[in-house]
Structure 1
């Protein structure tokens, strides 16, 4: 397992914070041994949490021309028919994956094709499981057109803790299935909008892995 490039700055700042606070406590409270050791343990726990959040585990990625691959690690929290109003402007099957702070937060392309649309939206920081987060939170929208002509829309959505969305794509790019298209720091969510008639291969509350789990099969 390695550390993702998006974590380098956060990890460095965490180390600096831990060093400074430990030094201050040791200097001003030299006789309060129990508190010094408590802070040492707390600092160590914080550092481990930061490290595991930015982990980039090695995994065998799934590739299949007619499959929609899960874009993120987490739990399936929404499977429903809805109206997509930003770009596709038709009825779609929405599948949403919630990423908790303990999940890997790398985002991967669910399908290969050409990026036909991309837009970043500033917004609120509602909890990621709130239905309004899909349209009101800070988010990105990406639409990839498969060689068959099928268009799949997916959104990175910031949550109450996620304050930075990172993306690596732009309109006109050719993207490969299961390859990274972005990263969201801390708790967040990814929504995918699939054509009606698509066979959904996951269930509500199922735990899924980005780049590995087959989310759906194109009809």
Structure 2
């Protein structure tokens, strides 16, 4: 489905844009700042369509691969989203959502090791998990799916307002040999294949 912005964007952007008009007459610098901030919010929450490949586990986020590690015999890949990246997140492959779990926590920079203790949302599928992790400035994780939903590869599953990281904990059957990315690579949500088992 085509849309311009992530759901709820106008709750952030509209007050700033509405304030800009009156302030332009009284305090032009404040009005201009408010308008710029409103436009920045719209840009941050943009939601372009993507061309999803027919196979493989695609990236759940736009950004840079910042984590590649093994945990209890499973591979984790994390994608750090900078402020200029699209922050709408997508399903790595087609599957049914088993559970979504919100975990409260800190708001450390999403690129740091300390971010492992940040606020997060786990989206559990039968064989793998996607985790949306709030960053230093991110204060809201917005899930689009819940238990019982079925998603297609590359389908939107949520977004994080103002920052963060998204991790994929792959099934045990996915190994490092299946990875087609490495730390430092740039990826696009729903388009870039992370692993092709």
Distance 2:46 2:194 in 1: 23
- Given that 2:143 and 2:159 are in contact with CA atoms closer than 8 Å, whether structure 1 keeps it comes out as yes
Supply the RMSD in Å over aligned alpha carbons: 1.9
Aligned to 1:137: 118
Aligned to 1:186: 162
- Change over 3 Å in CA distance of 1:14–1:171 after alignment to 2: same
Distance 1:59 1:22 in 2: 38
- Show structure 1 runs of 5+ residues with no match: 26-35, 83-89, 146-150
Residue-pair matches, total: 192
Distance 2:30 2:53 in 1: 43
- Change over 3 Å in CA distance of 1:20–1:128 after alignment to 2: farther
Distance 1:79 1:95 in 2: 5
Query: Of Structure 1 and Structure 2, which has the larger fraction of its residues in strand?
Result: 1
Post-superposition Cα deviations, 1:63-93, rounded to whole Å, max 9, x if no partner, equal 32xx1010011111111112xxxxxxx3211
Q: Does 1:214 align with 2:193?
A: yes
SS of aligned partner of 1:49: helix
- TM-score under structure 1 normalisation? 0.80
Return 152-161 or 40-49, whichever deviates more: 40-49
Post-superposition Cα deviations, 1:100-121, rounded to whole Å, max 9, x if no partner, equal 1111110101011122232111
Distance 1:181 1:171 in 2: 12
**Which residues of 2 match residues 26-105 of structure 1 at below 5 A?**
36=28, 38-39=29-30, 41-64=32-55, 67-82=56-71, 90-105=72-87
Larger Rg computed on CA atoms = 1
